[in-house]
Structure 1
Amino acid sequence: MRWTLPNILTVARLLAAPLVPIMFLYFARPWADWYAMILFIVASITDYLDGYLARAWKLESLFGAAMDPIADKAMVLIALLVVNGYAGVTPWILLPSALIIYREVFVAGLRETLGDKARALKVTNLAKWKTTVQMVAIAILFSTGIFEHSFYERISGMDDTMILDVLEGRVADEAGLIYFQTAWTWSTWIGVGLLWIAGVLTVITGWDYFRKAMPFLKEESSDA
């Protein structure tokens, strides 16, 4: 392997993937959410950069072609596990996450079965959109944790009556409760909505990949 910049970015993304849940082991929330979100966003940007630089500088390599999709899947799947972990058993997040995980396992199995023939199955523009949407969705869902815990930090020591008075405008909102509650609500809806869109695109692109792989999976007929 040549240590070109695209390959270095790919390796960095591989190493960053398991660091996302580690943030929640060593840091209190919402700082853990902040660090995990920043780490995920930076890794997602390198996903675009390493491919772009490899093509622009003619540094494409077999190592990069093999490791880049692995790094992408590792980052997305681990991040989904973390999001589902702190969201609890929430069907609206769990179901699209399960679809995404199922598709990635299914396609990985097909690639392994096809071997060298898998190179004939090119990544479609819709699959690229799917990747972009799911990465944006996950980043927004990480921000949901930030807004949620920032809200709870600010209501610490306040009774229910005081909280209600602030949220309904009867008392000055010096702690920014309305902002954090609104941001928490909107980021939840937008993040979950985008995750469902990613889930639908996942099913469509997974079926398209399977359809294109079928000719390579047919058994040769015998005239015995």
Structure 2
Amino acid sequence: MIWSIPNILTLLRLFAAPGLAILFLYFARPIADWVALALFIGAAVTDYFDGYLARLWGQESRFGAMIDPIADKAMVIIALLFITGLSGLNPWILLPAVLILFRETFVAGLREFLGATAGLLKVTKLAKWKTTAQMVAIAVLFASGAIEHYYDTQVAGMAPETVDGMLAGTVPDEGLLWKHRAMWASWWAGAALLWVAAVLTVVTGWDYFRKALPYLREPA
């Protein structure tokens, strides 16, 4: 039952991951940011509905169980690569991104090593919350990137003292102050959410490692 609707939704999410790269290669910003946001939100929605529909219609399959976590990780990893690059390797973004990427690689390695016993590393409820937190954080950061680029185009060509005056309120700003506040509010919200996702990611990674530890010890 590979070509069931739930599996097709999962495959669309998988192919949407490299689509993020294509967007930023062939579209100018902030259009690329907004389209990437829409694509990412669409992929996140399918992450819920593919599993829900598979259970509702009795269409759960080994193929779906295999490809679903791969699609999730592909979306998150590729999105984080672009976000860290677009942020100029800002440590508030880079450090939680590194923690997330390290954990995903570590757990994937654990599952590969355990082989047939990897079933003991079943996805937990907290791990599902982790994935949700990652996707929400990434969506907010994509929106933040679009707002920031829009703000930058507004101040492009303005003299620095004019911009400072607008932000200080001594020069009529024509909405520039609110755009500046929206830019920083969205960025810090995205960064905070990414740190929350990173903490959940590390906690679930430790939980998986703890469960796998008895299988990693040398025989007596």
TM-score by length of 1: 0.93
Q: Deviations over 1:194-218 (max 9, x none)?
A: 1111111111100100111122333
State whether residues 120 and 212 of structure 2, in contact with CA within 8 Å, keep that contact through their aligned partners in structure 1: no
Match of residue 50 from structure 2 = 50
Distance in structure 1 (CA, Å) of the matches to 2:103 and 2:199: 11
Match of residue 126 from structure 1 = 126
* Identity %, equivalent residues: 60
Distance in structure 2 (CA, Å) of the matches to 1:122 and 1:108: 12
> Is 1:140 the equivalent of 2:145?
no
Q: Deviations over 1:120-172 (max 9, x none)?
A: 32211111111111111111111111111101111223222332332233344
Amino acid at match of 2:66: A
Q: Gapped runs of 5+ residues in structure 1?
A: none
Q: Which runs of 4+ in 1 moved over 4 A?
A: none
The offset of 1:113, in angstroms, is 1.2
Match of residue 195 from structure 1 = 194
Distance in structure 2 (CA, Å) of the matches to 1:40 and 1:98: 20
Match of residue 105 from structure 1 = 105
Amino acid at match of 1:29: R
Query: Which stretch shifts more, 153-162 or 74-83?
Result: 153-162
Distance in structure 2 (CA, Å) of the matches to 1:115 and 1:163: 59
Distance in structure 2 (CA, Å) of the matches to 1:116 and 1:52: 26
Amino acid at match of 1:211: R
Distance in structure 2 (CA, Å) of the matches to 1:15 and 1:203: 27
Matched pairs, number: 220
Distance in structure 2 (CA, Å) of the matches to 1:77 and 1:88: 17
Match of residue 19 from structure 2 = 19
Amino acid at match of 1:8: I
State whether residues 21 and 36 of structure 1, in contact with CA within 8 Å, keep that contact through their aligned partners in structure 2: no
Match of residue 184 from structure 2 = 185
Amino acid at match of 1:184: M
Amino acid at match of 1:218: R
Alignment of 1:1-224 (within 5 A): 1-174=1-174, 176-221=175-220
Amino acid at match of 2:185: W
The offset of 1:108, in angstroms, is 0.5
Q: Gapped runs of 5+ residues in structure 2?
A: none
Amino acid at match of 2:209: F
State whether residues 33 and 145 of structure 1, in contact with CA within 8 Å, keep that contact through their aligned partners in structure 2: yes
The offset of 1:3, in angstroms, is 0.7
The offset of 1:90, in angstroms, is 1.2
